[in-house]
Chains A and B, each alone.
Chain A
Amino acid sequence: MIRLLMSLVLLAASAVAAAVSVEICEDGVPKSGWPGTPARATETFQEDAFGLFELPLKYVATGVRGDRAFPTLVRATGKVTLPAGKHRLLLRARGMARLLVDGRVIAETPFDQPRQFAVGNAGELPVEEQETFLELGPGARFLPPGNREVMAEAEFDGRAAEIVLETLIGGIEPKSKRPFRPELGETVAAISLAGSGDWKLLAPGEMTVPYTDAGWAAYTAPRRARFAAMNAAARATRRAEHAGYWNRRRAAARDWLAATPEVPVPALAAGFPAHNPIDHFVAARIAQVTADEKPSARAGGVDFFRDIKPILEANCFACHQGAKVKGGLQLDTRAAALRGGRGDGPAIVPGQPKASPLFQRITSHDPEEVMPAKGDRLRTADVALVERWIAEGAVWPEFAPGRRTLTPLAHDLAFLRRVSLDTVGVVPSEAEVSAFLADSAASRRARAIDRLLADPRWADHQMGYWLDVLAENPNLINPTLNNTGPFRWWLHESLLDGKPLDLLVTELIRLEGSERGGGPAGFGVASQNDVPAAAKGIILAGAFLGVEMKCARCHDAPTHAAKQSELFQLAAMLEKKPLKVPTTSSVPLDHLRVGGRTPMIEVTLAPGSTVEPAWPFGRFAGEASAAALAERPDDPRDRLAALVTAPQNERFAQVLANRLWQRLMGRGLVETVGDWEKSAPTHPELLRWLGREFVRGGYDLRALARLILNSHAYQRAADPALAAPSPLFAAHAPRRINAEQLVDSLFAATGKPFAVEQVCLDLDSVRTIENALDLGQATRAWMLGSTSNERDRPSLMLPRIQAVADVMEVFGWRGARPDASSGIRENAANVLQPALLSNGTMMTWLTRLSDDHGLGLLAMEEQPVERLVERIFLRLFTRPPTPEEKSTYVAALKPGYAGRVVARAEPVPAPAERRKYVAWSNHMKSEANTLRLEQEAAARRGDPPTTRLAPEWRTRFEDVIWALLNAPEWTSVL
């Protein structure tokens, strides 16, 4: 014991003067209790005070989040000089902790609390226990949930004392032997000097941190930013360690570009404007389509895209579209229909409906012959249309070109709003508008694009899209619904770092790092799924190769080329070993032999068979050339990563370029972005060119975005009459705003703080890491998660998050993402959208002028009422009001405007009360339910209105805000 204390003193003496040295020790820490000899520090950083709440994160491999050891010991050491006397010391921590003064343990909190874990895990901890806590005096900060505290007295002699604060995080739950989340909670040593009622953090230097709510907030805020910077630096260091390999990859990409022919940029067609080569391609296509066009068969004739294509889509395409079709008959192009299938020969004889098998089939009364084979007969009106269409010659253009005269450039402010929503996901602020307008007219657009692409909010805006496409699906408790780990954090950091997409996708496929702490390993998980690797194969194929493999999960796809064996080959590469096909991942053969027709689907891979790892997409990239690029060619998973991301695999670069194009232009060059079998590119040369530019730019998504955003095609005005963007990109169509853009913009534009609960149901950490996640404090809409309350218990509701999620769900966001999305969300208008915007709880917050509401503060500024209306329009709509709008809202706000601001004394804050909390640990208790229902009622009520505005005028202003926020204009990107 003496030796131990001696060494602790020595450790303390080695600390830098006037600083707290924080050591992280991952080696040799026992599973329970303190190490016998001091654990060796594996990482060290400096702190100003004995207040710990976050550690620098650990990064592994190329810079992905990893796990620290379970448990990890954290030791903070520093010299503190205190006046002589007997002072009170406070120790708080989430993990087991102890506080030593000059080598003597003076306070210790326990870790092993079997009752807490057992009872809390069952949700049965009495809420009343929260009434028992240390009385520290008025103003002191209350103990946050899940932390433990102890107070002690210690005698100081006026000389510098050695202080050591130690804690174990990520401890092992004694019964299950599984770790808790590695959280510091609020690990603090605070002091109250003799004769004083105040508490402050122990600190070695000049710094004084009052241990109050305000003091703690002021202490933590700059440190969070500092940790973010330290984490970014740590990621950069890890990535630099792999620079050798990735520089070789860059060189290989350059070599490949040099060895393969460039796509010539066409000369600019006469009469078309151009900002960059994109416009040359777009103009050339319009010119070509116009030149090729035959005069319309007959005025008033059947229009293929208006009249016939919807019939084919609804009745035929399920079986007769794409690479693999029933009876060999493809009905998605004119050439294919004329070529025909195995049984009937050419499906159409132009001009002769009665001789066309297609027409014979839809009119047949023989159940063996009639088409569609399943479902209802074609409606008589549709049959008549098909007959007329064939009779008129079966005119079938390649695609419906739609509008082909270009709209002019969008107005500057319309452009700014659109480009802001498309890059940082929120509408521009007044300051951003001013900065934009301050630049010269010639340069302001390009400069705004550069600013926005350099903005860290770019990463936020990308998140919602990729979480959908990659089907991130963390569950706050008990992951059982095809859940993944929260790999959102790795993804967000990768986007913040502007990581090249080939590296990002390589990291994803390598599945390294932390599974529950936010690393790509979390992508590999699919709880309760019989073959998680197959589920991931489907996602990867759709996301990065445009290959739809959902059907191949259980059988060969009836209308896609993918075979089940190919999906399992892919899955086996991910698993790094041969994979057995379980019965549950197949279709029983007796299901296939129902009725007289050929079965729709085939099963060529018998359940129980074993599939070896193999690359099933030789059609995109030959295995030999690309696998040579792998860092570890013997590792099937790493080989897969190289095969997907290699420059030789042109599909990869083109699929990503097409995804970005679709998001910015409203329609993909290949319309079905996740399934390239179902539509052909409208602009094949442009697609290839963009793919090569993406490779040339080092797979930098932002560089590619810069190219598209600067094009005239992107900057053109929207044609409000278009229901969908023109396939020739002559004009934008209004696009439905997505859920994240809408919610983030509403909060940003009104200036109301986005205040929701911590995204966590295990606030006090009684559950082990597998069974409870903490997704932290959301600051942007994408950070929310599913609040799915399958248990239907009021106590498990998060009412403020739910109020926001309700709005997001009706605008197409999915909190739970059990399956992969193509990336294109359903965007039809539905009645719930305006309902929640007019009467929902979130809108109550946004339309109530509380003390912290940005528009309330704006209204208090000294300015004419006309100016107020103009500025509100600028903030909400990025445009000035029309004369009619201006007069309407000025008229509404004018009465009482002069006397709107009420002088008031700053209210004296009421003494804080310890607020009880509801968490998993107590959710089965009646009191917890009652408490949660009170929170729900409070959320619904919203914050109280400010008393600084006269109530009569304020309510009128609120009504104006309500009307402005409910304008249909909000729901579109123009």
Chain B
Amino acid sequence: MNRRNFLTQSAALATVAASPRALATATAAALPKGRAEHCIFLWLGGGMAQIDTFDPKRRGNPKSKPMVAGSDYAAIDTAVPGVRYTEHLARTAQLAEHVTAVRTINHTLGIEHALATNFVHTGRPVSGSTVYPSLGSVVAHQRGAADERVPAYMVIGYPSVSRGPGFLGAKHGYIHLVDTESGPAGFTAPDGIDAARMAERRRLLAPLQKNTGDGTSLDDYAEAQREALRLAGPGFMRHFKLAEEPAALREGYGGEFGQRCLLARRLVQAGVRFIEVSHNLNFINGAGWDTHNAGQLNQHVLIRELDAALGSLIADLKAKKLLDKTLIALGTEFGRPGQFDSGGGRGHQSACFSLLLAGGGLRHRGAYGVTNELSGKPVENPVSVPDFHATIYAALGINPGKELVSASRPVPITDGGKPIAALFG
């Protein structure tokens, strides 16, 4: 058999043997492709309780004896008929036509924070042979920055492996800042170093930057150093001056998390491709989104903070005509069960939880997927984490089946993820 015949025959065989999943990969060219240019990824570390936020169910009560399983808050109507969120999401509810709460996310990675956080960032289980890149790094790698004068990928939150570039290499990593006050690590002059002193420092550095030779490793570094000094200059740093924003707008966004979202919008305008914004301010209710035990008591304050920030971000992007080209995605490592724990809070649940998409030129519908009576498992249209990632990639015009190369090994961007077709077109 010559090679051509062999190929033709095995192609025929493949058509018979292929599973629907394999076929989906094979027809990658026909996949939906969105036109979003940027992504703001809001990370709610700890595990947002879907039943208390975007997937309300019958009312429960953690304070009665015995406790009654169910949502801790009342449900309200949203702008999308038939779709309801809980009462603390009033602002987002009014904007629900720009939002899709994907209610049927599920994974089997278990309920340990770090492991699940890694999975929802990378879409793959931890492996001993490959370190997979995060969503942000893949987007940075595929699309680069929209403006070459700014970095492609920034994180407002703490550094972690899960947020990192994995096998794509440090070049596709993030620049991070831990709060909106202090500016990005490495690009903000330390306190007490004013412009005059910085200029003096650069003057003193100049003689040492000479004689690095062309094309050598020293020269590469000197080049990177010039770039870093430029980024540390006023051009890039002015994007961090939130004080330039109208006071009313700033107030509308709310506390530190809201300010981070506002900063993310400014970074989108500056050309940053992917911004992860972490909502990790667990002093609001003690536990943050990890609402075990007494963490439940003030969870509503946290949800309202999310609502103010998310609602403001959608409205602000819309007003600035940026909403269609900016995809907002909301991530959390898992959800929480409808039942309460002995302390009146909630445990962890990965079998069913909600993630959210907004803007980005998608055909939104308020909510997608149906879960059972206490949001314990998906009933219609289950969506895997790779599917959710594929939706994000597709919205950004990236083929989720495209192969990246890890040490000569081809690695598809998602592990067989399929975009949610209903959101495109």
Q: A529-B128, A593-B22, A839-B190 are contacts. A481–B222 as well, Cβ < 8 Å?
A: no
User: Which residues of the other chain, B, contact A375 by a CB distance below 8 angstroms?
Assistant: 403
A829 contacts B190, C-beta separation under 8 Å: no
A597 contacts B232, C-beta separation under 8 Å: no
Taken together as a complex, chains A and B put the C-alpha atoms of A532 and B405 apart, in Å, by 25
How close is A371's CB to chain B, nearest CB, in angstroms?
A: 12
Q: Tell me how many residues of A have a C-beta within 8 Å of chain B.
A: 111
B220 contacts A818, C-beta separation under 8 Å: no
Taken together as a complex, chains A and B put the C-alpha atoms of A122 and B191 apart, in Å, by 37
Q: What is the chain A residue whose CB lies nearest that of B45?
A: A792
Q: A480-B114, A594-B18, A831-B224 are contacts. A968–B128 as well, Cβ < 8 Å?
A: no
Enumerate A516-558 residues with CB–CB distance to B below 8 Å. 526, 528-529, 532, 534-535, 538, 550-551, 553
User: Which residues of the other chain, A, contact B159 by a CB distance below 8 angstroms?
Assistant: 787-789, 802, 805-806, 809
B221 contacts A834, C-beta separation under 8 Å: yes
B 276-300 binary contact with A (CB < 8 Å = 1; else 0): 0010111100111010110100000
Q: What is the chain A residue whose CB lies nearest that of B230?
A: A831
A793 contacts B231, C-beta separation under 8 Å: no
Q: A720-B218, A721-B213 are contacts. A792–B157 as well, Cβ < 8 Å?
A: yes
B280 contacts A793, C-beta separation under 8 Å: yes
User: Which residues of the other chain, B, contact A936 by a CB distance below 8 angstroms?
Assistant: 178
A374 contacts B113, C-beta separation under 8 Å: no
**A835 CB contact (under 8 Å) in B162, B207, B228, B408:** B228
Q: A368-B7, A596-B10, A835-B186 are contacts. A794–B280 as well, Cβ < 8 Å?
A: yes
Enumerate A828-852 residues with CB–CB distance to B below 8 Å. 828-836, 838-841, 843-844
Q: What is the chain A residue whose CB lies nearest that of B174?
A: A832
B3 contacts A343, C-beta separation under 8 Å: yes
**A971 CB contact (under 8 Å) in B205, B218, B282, B403:** B218
A888 contacts B204, C-beta separation under 8 Å: yes
**A528 CB contact (under 8 Å) in B115, B182, B283, B405:** B115
Q: What is the chain A residue whose CB lies nearest that of B197?
A: A959
Taken together as a complex, chains A and B put the C-alpha atoms of A699 and B338 apart, in Å, by 62
How close is A956's CB to chain B, nearest CB, in angstroms?
A: 8
A318 contacts B408, C-beta separation under 8 Å: yes
Enumerate B161-188 residues with CB–CB distance to A below 8 Å. 161-162, 169-171, 173, 175, 178, 182, 185-188
**B21 CB contact (under 8 Å) in A590, A597, A792, A834:** A590
A793 contacts B221, C-beta separation under 8 Å: no
Q: What is the chain A residue whose CB lies nearest that of B129?
A: A550
Q: What is the chain B residue whose CB lies nearest that of A882?
A: B207
How close is B150's CB to chain A, nearest CB, in angstroms?
A: 11
B216 contacts A722, C-beta separation under 8 Å: yes
A834 contacts B283, C-beta separation under 8 Å: no
B114 contacts A972, C-beta separation under 8 Å: no
Q: Which among A54-62, A160-168, A644-652, A924-932 touches the partner chain?
A: A924-932
Q: Does A383 contact B (CB under 8 A)?
A: no
A720 contacts B408, C-beta separation under 8 Å: no
A962 contacts B204, C-beta separation under 8 Å: yes
Highest count of chain B CB atoms <10 Å: which of A343, A593, A598: A593
User: Which residues of the other chain, B, contact A148 by a CB distance below 8 angstroms?
Assistant: none
**B114 CB contact (under 8 Å) in A481, A830, A930, A941:** A481
Q: Does A955 contact B (CB under 8 A)?
A: yes
Q: Does A826 contact B (CB under 8 A)?
A: yes
User: Which residues of the other chain, A, contact B223 by a CB distance below 8 angstroms?
Assistant: 829
Taken together as a complex, chains A and B put the C-alpha atoms of A270 and B18 apart, in Å, by 67
Taken together as a complex, chains A and B put the C-alpha atoms of A831 and B218 apart, in Å, by 13
Q: What is the chain A residue whose CB lies nearest that of B232?
A: A839
Q: A598-B10, A826-B170 are contacts. A735–B22 as well, Cβ < 8 Å?
A: no
Enumerate B12-71 residues with CB–CB distance to A below 8 Å. 13-14, 17-19, 21-22, 25-26, 43, 45-46
Q: Does A241 contact B (CB under 8 A)?
A: no
B 103-144 binary contact with A (CB < 8 Å = 1; else 0): 000000000111101100000011111110000000000000
A832 contacts B215, C-beta separation under 8 Å: no
Q: A594-B25, A600-B410, A936-B178 are contacts. A818–B126 as well, Cβ < 8 Å?
A: yes
B225 contacts A966, C-beta separation under 8 Å: yes
A551 contacts B216, C-beta separation under 8 Å: no
Q: Tell me how many residues of B have a C-beta within 8 Å of chain A.
A: 98
Enumerate A810-825 residues with CB–CB distance to B below 8 Å. 810, 812, 815-816, 818-820
User: Which residues of the other chain, A, contact B6 by a CB distance below 8 angstroms?
Assistant: 598
Taken together as a complex, chains A and B put the C-alpha atoms of A713 and B186 apart, in Å, by 39
Q: What is the chain B residue whose CB lies nearest that of A885?
A: B207
B408 contacts A559, C-beta separation under 8 Å: yes
User: Which residues of the other chain, B, contact A940 by a CB distance below 8 angstroms?
Assistant: 182, 190-191
A 911-928 binary contact with B (CB < 8 Å = 1; else 0): 000000000000011100
User: Which residues of the other chain, B, contact A374 by a CB distance below 8 angstroms?
Assistant: 403, 410
How close is A668's CB to chain B, nearest CB, in angstroms?
A: 17
Q: Does B227 contact A (CB under 8 A)?
A: yes
Q: Does A963 contact B (CB under 8 A)?
A: yes
Taken together as a complex, chains A and B put the C-alpha atoms of A549 and B287 apart, in Å, by 43
User: Which residues of the other chain, A, contact B128 by a CB distance below 8 angstroms?
Assistant: 471, 482, 526, 529, 532, 534-535, 538, 553, 818-820
Enumerate A956-974 residues with CB–CB distance to B below 8 Å. 956, 959-960, 962-964, 966-969, 971-972
B218 contacts A836, C-beta separation under 8 Å: no
Taken together as a complex, chains A and B put the C-alpha atoms of A786 and B163 apart, in Å, by 14
Enumerate B63-120 residues with CB–CB distance to A below 8 Å. 112-115, 117-118
A 890-926 binary contact with B (CB < 8 Å = 1; else 0): 0010000000000000000000000000000000111
B218 contacts A968, C-beta separation under 8 Å: yes
Q: A816-B161, A818-B126 are contacts. A832–B22 as well, Cβ < 8 Å?
A: no
**A888 CB contact (under 8 Å) in B21, B207, B213, B228:** B207
Q: What is the chain A residue whose CB lies nearest that of B205?
A: A963
User: Which residues of the other chain, A, contact B130 by a CB distance below 8 angstroms?
Assistant: 550, 819
Q: A374-B410, A480-B115, A598-B10 are contacts. A810–B220 as well, Cβ < 8 Å?
A: no
A829 contacts B220, C-beta separation under 8 Å: yes
User: Which residues of the other chain, A, contact B295 by a CB distance below 8 angstroms?
Assistant: 924
Q: What is the chain B residue whose CB lies nearest that of A967?
A: B208
Q: A791-B45, A959-B201 are contacts. A839–B22 as well, Cβ < 8 Å?
A: no
Q: Does A790 contact B (CB under 8 A)?
A: yes
B280 contacts A792, C-beta separation under 8 Å: yes
Q: Does A889 contact B (CB under 8 A)?
A: yes
Q: What is the chain A residue whose CB lies nearest that of B204?
A: A963
Highest count of chain B CB atoms <10 Å: which of A598, A820, A969: A969
Enumerate B221-250 residues with CB–CB distance to A below 8 Å. 221-225, 227-229, 231-232
A966 contacts B205, C-beta separation under 8 Å: yes
Taken together as a complex, chains A and B put the C-alpha atoms of A835 and B216 apart, in Å, by 20
Taken together as a complex, chains A and B put the C-alpha atoms of A889 and B205 apart, in Å, by 10
Q: What is the chain B residue whose CB lies nearest that of A557?
A: B409
A593 contacts B127, C-beta separation under 8 Å: no
Q: A482-B127, A794-B282 are contacts. A593–B13 as well, Cβ < 8 Å?
A: yes
A839 contacts B205, C-beta separation under 8 Å: no
Q: Does A736 contact B (CB under 8 A)?
A: yes
Q: Does B4 contact A (CB under 8 A)?
A: yes
Taken together as a complex, chains A and B put the C-alpha atoms of A484 and B216 apart, in Å, by 38
Enumerate B381-425 residues with CB–CB distance to A below 8 Å. 403, 405, 407-410
User: Which residues of the other chain, B, contact A930 by a CB distance below 8 angstroms?
Assistant: 283
B45 contacts A590, C-beta separation under 8 Å: no
User: Which residues of the other chain, A, contact B43 by a CB distance below 8 angstroms?
Assistant: 792
How close is B84's CB to chain A, nearest CB, in angstroms?
A: 29
Q: Which 3 pairs from chain A and chain B are nearest by CB?
A: A835-B186, A596-B11, A792-B45
- A to B CB contacts below 8 Å, 24 in the list: A122-B292, A481-B161, A535-B128, A550-B407, A590-B17, A593-B10, A593-B13, A598-B7, A789-B160, A791-B113, A791-B114, A794-B280, A815-B161, A818-B128, A828-B171, A832-B228, A835-B175, A836-B185, A840-B186, A892-B204, A924-B295, A926-B286, A968-B225, A971-B217
A-B contact sample (19 more), CB < 8 A, given A343-B2, A792-B278, A968-B221: A374-B410, A478-B114, A481-B115, A595-B11, A721-B216, A722-B216, A733-B217, A734-B217, A734-B218, A792-B45, A829-B223, A834-B228, A836-B186, A924-B286, A924-B295, A925-B286, A936-B178, A959-B197, A968-B222
